[in-house]
Amino acid sequence: MMNKEWVETLRALRVMPVIQIEDAKDAVQLAQVLNDNGLPAAEITFRSEAAAESIRLIREAFPDLILCAGTVLTPAQVDQAVEAGADFIVSPGLNPTTVKYCLEKGIKIIPGVNSPSQVEQALELGLTALKFFPAEASGGISMLKSLTGPYGNIQLMPTGGIKPANLMEYLAIPQVIACGGTWIAPTEAIRDNDWETIARNVRATCELIKG
């Protein structure tokens, strides 16, 4: 279960950089750029073979960085992520097998939901911190507001289609603790080692959040 301390940690961040690293050799430099420019956090997605090794290298170099594993689909990936040093797990959907596995082992997980039925399934499992995914494709702000009407006690991390132009509208919803940000460190920029572009994205995002 996501405890209050972790919810508040995410709420203080406001944005979680969602990152796909194709080559683990780029992981530490990327974490350095995020940390130095004001966003000491990363969700490393299991969309590439380099995910677990990237998490391990980042954790060794930055013990205090808020580090989670994203796009986790199976208990085996949960084990890989936790062994590598991930603080918590994020999944695109609500797979009861994976969620129960995490709960049994005391591992924090934020599963993805985008409908009332999925929210109720999460609540039945004892979870209130959830990922709203894919946010824009699932109805965006209006759908999010509709969900938080009957389920006022949930805490949400919308991800998918969120960008600087609509970020603050999402963050204005009280139940939104943070937004997943894929725009901050695009895969192409990481592949090209274009650290200055990523640094600019981080700084611009931090300035936007601070108003």
Percentage of residues of the chain with pLDDT beyond 70: 99
**Domains of the chain, earliest start first:** 4-206 (3.20.20.70)
Whole-number Å distance between alpha carbons of 160 and 192: 23
Q: What pLDDT sits at residue 136?
A: 98
pLDDT of residue 6: 86
Residue 5 has pLDDT above 90, yes or no: no
CA–CA distance, 67 with 5 (Å, rounded to integer): 15
Contacts of 195 (CB under 8 A, 6+ apart): 29, 30, 33
Please compute the mean of the pLDDT values over residues 1-10 and round it to a whole number: 79
What residues are labeled active site?
Answer: 43, 131
pLDDT of residue 38: 97
Q: Which amino acid is at 143?
A: M
Polymer length in residues for the chain: 211
Q: What is the tally of helices (H) and strands (E) in the chain?
A: 10, 9
Q: Give the residue from 150, 143, 76, 84 showing the smallest Cα distance to 113.
A: 143
Structure tokens, 82 = 């936790």
- Provide the token pair at 74: 């199976």
Write the DSSP string, 4-47.
Answer: HHHHHHHHHH-EEEEE--SSGGGHHHHHHHHHHTT--EEEEETT
CB 206 within 8 A of CB 181: no
Local confidence band at 1 (pLDDT 50, 70, 90 cut-offs):
very low
52-101 pLDDT, tens digit per residue, is: 999 999 999 999 999 999 999 999 999 999 999 999 999 999 999 999 99
- Tokens 């689909």: give the residue: 73
The amino acid that residue 82 corresponds to is V
Would you place residue 4 in the very low, low, confident or very high pLDDT band (cuts 50, 70, 90)?
A: confident
- Per the DSSP assignment, residues forming a β-bridge with 132 are 113, 158
pTM of model > 0.85: yes
Report the chain's terminal Cα–Cα distance, integer Å. 32
Which residues are bridge partners to 131 per DSSP?
112, 157
Mean pLDDT of 39-51: 98
